Amino acid sequence: DIDDVGHKYYLELELEDVLDKDRTVSCTAEVLYPLGSKTSAPDVQVTVQGELRSTEEADQEFYNQMRSLEKELEAENIPDSHGNIPPELEPIHLLAWVASGFLIWQNSTENTKFHLAQVKRVKQVKRSDEDLQFDYVLLLHEMVSQEVLPWEVTVLWHPQNGARVSQS
Amino acid sequence: IQLDFWLAPRGLGLPVDIRVPFPSLQAVKVHLEASGVSYSIMIEDVQALLDEEQMEMLRSSRQVPLDTDTFNYEAYHTIDEIYSFLDLLVAENPNLVSKLEIGRSTEDRPLYVLKFSTGGTNRPAIWIDTGIHSREWVTQASGVWFAKKIVQDHANNEGVASILETMDIFLEIVTNPDGFAFTHTKNRMWRKTRSKHSGSICVGVDPNRNWDAGFGDAGASGNPCTETYHGPYPNSEPEVKSIVDFVKSHGNIKAFISIHSYSQLLLYPYGYTETPAPDQQELDEVSAKAVAALSSLYGTKFKYGSIITTIYRASGSTVDWTYNQGIKYSFTFELRDTGRYGFLLPAKQIVPTAEETWLALKVIMEHTRDNLY
C-alpha cells in the first residue's frame, strides 16, 4: 500500500517460450495500480534477466511474405470454433497476442483477469512506408464478470522496429 | 530421380508439371538451370496440402457413426451427434446404461441423464454434469468420453467397475442444450441459458448463479444483459430446476461434481460466503489427492481450494446448493487450459483432458465409496 498513490506489487516471473517449451527466462516486475481512477492503466516496470530467443530469420520471412501478397490478408475466427489455427495464420495469431497484451495492460485493475478469447477479424492494411499494418477485432474474455467483448486495435509491425499497438 | 509428371510433355512450347520428391529437388533444379529451362514453383510442399486435406476430411466427416467404437472422441460434436451417441451407448449396454429424461429446456429440448447401474434399488450415487456453460466445449466432449470409459471399465472389470458394484453413476453431458445449440449456430461464446424473462430484451440466465444458495448475493449480477445474471428467482431455469427435482427425489446422491472450463482448478464450497465449509479439511485433502492423480498423467497443473478463495465470489452456484443439501462431496472442476486457447481448446486436447480428469474423478468417487455417510 502506498498512501494516496495506490497498490504496488513486486513480482518474480518465469517466462516460457510458447514456441520452444524448454526455454524459460526469469524476469522481475513492479506493477503499480493507481488509487481510485478507473481510466488509468497500471504502471509497469519489467526487467528481463537473460536473453530472448532470436527470431530474425522467421521475422524477415513473415515480413517478406506479407509485403508480397497480391491481395491484403483478411481472416476471421482465429482459432476457429474447434481450436484450429491454419499454420499460415500462426504469425497473425501471435501478433494478436501482442496486441491483446497491450489492451489487457491498458484496461486491467486489481479486480480483472483478461485473456484473449479469439481473433474475430483481422485485415491487413496496405501502407506506403516500411511497416506492416493489421487492423484487428479481438475478443477479450474477462474472468470475474465472464464477459467476452470485442476490442478494435491496430498493430504496426516491422522486423527491426517491433510492434506498435494503438487502440482504434 | 522418381519424377512424377502431373502434366506430361505434349509438345514444344507447352508447359510440363512435375512433382519432384524432396531428395531429387536439388538435382532437378540444377539440371533445369543448366539447360536454360525456366520453371516456377506451383506448390512448395505437397505433403502439407495432403495433411491439411486429411484433417479437413476428418473434421467434416459428419457420417453417422454406427457404434460407440467408431465414434470420434477426438472431435467436437453437435447436440444431435451427442444425443445419437447416448442412444447408441444404451443400445449397446442395456444392462448397464439407461437414459433418463429429467426435464425439458426453455426451447423444449430434452434434458437427458445417463444412469450407470449394475442393479439394486436407489443405491448411493455419484452425479457428474458437463456443459452447464455451453461455450465450455471441452466439458461436453469429456462427458462423452467419460460415458464410454465407464462402459469400458465395467466390461473389463477394472477402474470404476468396483464402484459400480455398490453405487450408481449419473452423468448429464449436455446440461444446457439450448446454449450448446446456440454456440454451434450463432455465437460460439454463449454461456447462459436461452430464456427470456419479462422486462428485458436480453436473453439468458447464468445457470451457475441460479441455484438456491446465497441466491442474489454479491457474486452474481441482477442485470439480465450480463453473463452472470442470476435470473428472476432461484431455479427459474428449467435446466437447473430439473436437476434440483432429480436430486431431491433421488435422495441418495453422495457426491456431486459439476464440470466447467477453463482455468485448471478443483473447487469445493463455498462461493457465496467466506465462512469455511464444515467439511473443508476433508474436502481439501481429497482435492489434493485428486489433483495429484490428474497431474500424474500429463503433468497438467491444477490449483485447488474453496470457490471464494481460489477463483472469485460466486453466489447461487451449483455445488453450494448441493453441499447445503447434505451432499458432502460436492466439487467443481475447471478443466484445461489456463488461457492460451481458453474456450477454444484444440480438439486434439479433448482426449488427454478427459483422461487426466477421469483420474481425479476416480479419486473422488473412490473416496466417496469408502466414506459413505
Residue-wise pLDDT for A27-69, tens only, equals 999 999 998 766 789 999 999 998 888 899 999 999 999 999 9
What span, in angstroms and rounded, lies between the C-alpha atoms of B342 and B29?
Answer: 46
Cis omega before residue A79 (within 30°)? yes
Determine the 3-state secondary structure of B118 from DSSP.
coil
Query: Using alpha carbons only, how large is chain A's radius of gyration in Å?
Result: 17
Is B334 tagged catalytic? yes
Provide the β-strand partners of residue B257: B128, B331
Contacts of A101 (CB under 8 A, 6+ apart): none
Q: What pLDDT does residue B190 have?
A: 98
Judged against a pLDDT cut of 80, whether residue A149 lies above it is answered with: yes
Q: Tell me the percentage of chain A whose pLDDT exceeds 70.
A: 99
Edge-to-edge strand order for the sheet containing A162-167?
A74-78, A114-125, A132-142, A148-158, A162-167
Cβ contact, residue pair B342, A18, below 8 Å:
no
pTM over the 0.90 mark: no
First vs last Cα of chain A: how many Å apart?
34
| Chain B residues whose beta carbon lies within 8 Å of the beta carbon of residue A22 | none
User: Given pLDDT bands bounded at 50, 70 and 90, which one contains residue A16?
Assistant: confident
CB pairs under 8 A between A and B: 60
CATH number for region A6-49: 3.10.450.10
> Rounded to the nearest 5°, which phi and psi values hold at B170?
-110, 135
Q: What pLDDT does residue B57 have?
A: 63
Count the alpha carbons within 13 Å of B15 in the hemisphere toward its beta carbon: 8
Cβ contact, residue pair A148, B340, below 8 Å:
no
Q: Identify from A14, A17, A108, A146 which residue to disrupt to test chain B contact, counting B C-beta atoms within 10 A and taking the largest count.
A: A146
Contacts of B186 (CB under 8 A, 6+ apart): none
Which position has the grid cell 439480465?
B224
| Chain A residues whose beta carbon lies within 8 Å of the beta carbon of residue B339 | 115-116
Query: Which whole number is the average pLDDT over A83-106?
Result: 96
Contacts of B57 (CB under 8 A, 6+ apart): none
Cα A132 → chain centroid: 16
Which position has the grid cell 439394486?
B120
Q: How many CB atoms lie within 10 A of CB B172?
A: 24
- Domain map of chain A by residue range? 6-49, 55-167
Q: Identify from B189, B265, B336 which residue to disrupt to test chain A contact, counting A C-beta atoms within 10 A and taking the largest count.
A: B189
Contacts of B363 (CB under 8 A, 6+ apart): B286, B289, B290, B293
What span, in angstroms and rounded, lies between the C-alpha atoms of B344 and B262?
Answer: 10
Average pLDDT, chain A: 93
- Chain B residues within 8 angstroms (CB to CB) of chain A: 48, 52, 55, 59, 75-76, 137, 183-184, 188-189, 191, 206, 221, 226-228, 263, 311-312, 339-347, 349
3-class SS string, A59-114? HHHHHHHHHCCCCCCEEEEECCCCCCCCHHHHHHHHHHHHHHHHHHHHHCCCCCCE
Q: Give me the residues of A, 47-66, that contact B with CB < 8 A.
A: none
3-class SS string, B217-278? CECEECCCCCCCECCCCCCCCHHHHHHHHHHHHHCCEEEEEEEEECCCEEEECCCCCCCCCC
Cβ contact, residue pair A117, B183, below 8 Å:
no
Establish whether domains A6-49 and A55-167 are of one fold.
yes
B52, B226, B339: residue with CB nearest A115 = B339
Q: Tell me the percentage of chain B whose pLDDT exceeds 70.
A: 98
What span, in angstroms and rounded, lies between the C-alpha atoms of A147 and B190?
Answer: 10
DSSP state of B157: T
Q: Which CATH class is domain B50-370?
A: alpha beta
Q: What is the ipTM of this complex?
A: 0.92
Interior angle at CA B276, CA B272 and CA B277, nearest 5: 85
User: What residues in chain B have per-residue pLDDT under 50?
Assistant: none
Cβ contact, residue pair B59, A82, below 8 Å:
yes
Q: How many residues does chain B have?
A: 373
Which position has the grid cell 481473433?
A119
Domain with CATH 3.40.630.10 in chain B: 50-370
Find the closest chain B residue to A114 by CA distance: B339
Query: At how many degrees (to 10) do helices B79-92 and B137-156 cross?
Result: 10
Contacts of B183 (CB under 8 A, 6+ apart): A81, B134, B135, B137, B189, B190
Cβ contact, residue pair A115, B349, below 8 Å:
no
We find that the CATH architecture of domain A55-167 is: Roll (3.10)
Cβ contact, residue pair A115, B345, below 8 Å:
no
| Among B136, B237, B334, B356, the one annotated catalytic | B334
